[in-house]
Amino acid sequence: RRQVLEASQQLTEIITSCLGSEPSAESPDTSMDTDPAAEEESASHCLWVDKFTPRRYIELLSDDYTNRCLLKWLKLWDTVVFGKDKAGKKPKPNPAAHPPLSHAKEHPNKWKTKVQLTEEILEAELDQHKRPKYKVALLCGPPGLGKTTLAHVIARHAGYNPVEMNASDDRSPEVFRTRIEAATQMRSVLGSHERPNCLIIDEIDGAPAASINVLLAIIQRKDGEGEAGA
């Protein structure tokens, strides 16, 4: 009888250990049923619109003419913001060296592209402080066209720290003025190199008339100070 009890106890221990090592039926292992794509998506925790958004100038899919004109306008601020001298243009060839093409002198803009003509116009219209004549750039178009993305990419490409604010969020002109002045006067302290801020005002069409007047007053003030904005 003692041997039977010992054998029964050993058998019970073996069965208990076997049941403890096997996964329970209530909590089955679902690791084999998990989709790899779902795991990757859950790990990234970001939307496709954020994952595949352009981050460099060459990745932009918007109109190339608009991209180049906006970049040219923002680079015209380099003299005031960064203290950089404007790069000199290459000297034009002597027309006398090409007698058959002398008739092109009568129409100097005949062979220039639309982008070249626009860049020359923007470059020629500088004020007494060597700033662009137009202090802001207005990007318009239907929703989803990529206006805000373009502004962010151009700002980073030109060496600025993009600061975005939504004009339709603040209905009070005083709050709107405070946010604009805070964004244009503060400096970025992140990273080893400080970058000047480029203010990007989104949904400006939804701002009240009083806020628009505040923005115009800031742009048109003649205090010799200016910050780039888009």
Is 10 a member of any domain? Answer: no
Q: Residues near 111 by Cβ (< 8 Å), separated by ≥ 6?
A: 104
CATH at 158 = 3.40.50.300
Residue 69: inside a domain: yes
Residue 153 lies in a domain: yes
In a domain, 151, yes or no: yes
Q: How many domains does the chain have?
A: 1
User: Is residue 4 in a domain?
Assistant: no
CA distance 42 to 36: 10
Report the predicted TM-score, pTM, of the whole model to 2 decimal places: 0.64
Residue 220: both structure tokens together: 């048109």
Question: Which domain, by its residues, includes 176?
Answer: 51-85+99-220
Q: Is residue 38 part of a domain?
A: no
pLDDT at 227: 47
pLDDT digits (tens, 9 = 90+) for 104-137: 455 555 667 777 777 777 777 777 778 888 889 9
pLDDT tens digit string along 134-173? 889 999 999 888 999 999 999 999 999 999 998 888 778 8
